[in-house]
Amino acid sequence: MKKIISIHVSLMRAGKLDCFEKEVPMHGKLFFSRNSETKDFCGIYTIPGNDSFASMEVINLLHLGVLYYPTLIMNFNYPSCKLYLQEADAFDFIYSKKHIRPNQMYFVRNANDVTGPFYFKSNSDINKIVTGLQQKTLYVPCKKQSFEKVVTSKSA
């Protein structure tokens, strides 16, 4: 069974540079979506491809302001919540022996410290990923999130 941990994150609203690379949608990149009417976070959104349909879909979601990405920097100006992470395995980074899973979000856990998010790219150091998988220090967001709110306070 995979180990699950929770961390506190602030969710920052995504912009065009977070979703596109040279005007092409970043296929597979993960965001957290917010209901445009209730303003509640409701799940995970993954960019479905890098074609014109995906491009139009992402642009519409950006205009609605419903895509967010996590940051470990706590900021009272942005919504904060618990993010649940599960231990990563090889299938979180590859589809098959020859095809990587691009733009996979992952975090690195050392002792009690968590850093990230990082994104797996085709030019990423594969040895770093393999070592992290063997040492069980890589974590990916769980598919189901509760978006349990965390109250952050201003410092005096």
- The answer for residues whose C-beta is within 8 angstroms of residue 5's C-beta and 6 or more apart is 84, 85, 109, 114, 139
Q: Give yes or no for residue 93 having a pLDDT over 90.
A: no
Range of 82's domain?
4-141
Q: Is residue 57 part of a domain?
A: yes
Q: Is residue 104 part of a domain?
A: yes
Q: Is residue 92 part of a domain?
A: yes
Q: Is residue 93 part of a domain?
A: yes
The three-class DSSP label of residue 140 is: strand
Quote the pLDDT of residue 123. Answer: 67
Q: Is residue 149 part of a domain?
A: no
Q: Is residue 146 part of a domain?
A: no
User: Which of 151 and 55 is assigned the larger pLDDT?
Assistant: 55
pLDDT tens, position by position, 105-155: 999 999 889 999 999 887 667 888 889 999 999 999 999 999 998 876 665
Quote the pLDDT of residue 152. Answer: 63
Q: Is residue 46 part of a domain?
A: yes
Give the up-direction half-sphere exposure of residue 21: CA atoms within 13 A in the CB hemisphere: 10
The neighbouring-strand residues paired with 103 are none
Q: Is residue 100 part of a domain?
A: yes
Q: Could you tell me if 102 and 48 are in contact, meaning their C-beta atoms sit under 8 angstroms apart?
A: no
Residue type, 137: T
Split into its structural domains, the chain has a count of 1
Rounded to the nearest integer, the mean pLDDT of the chain is 89
CA-nearest of 56, 53, 48 to 26 is: 48
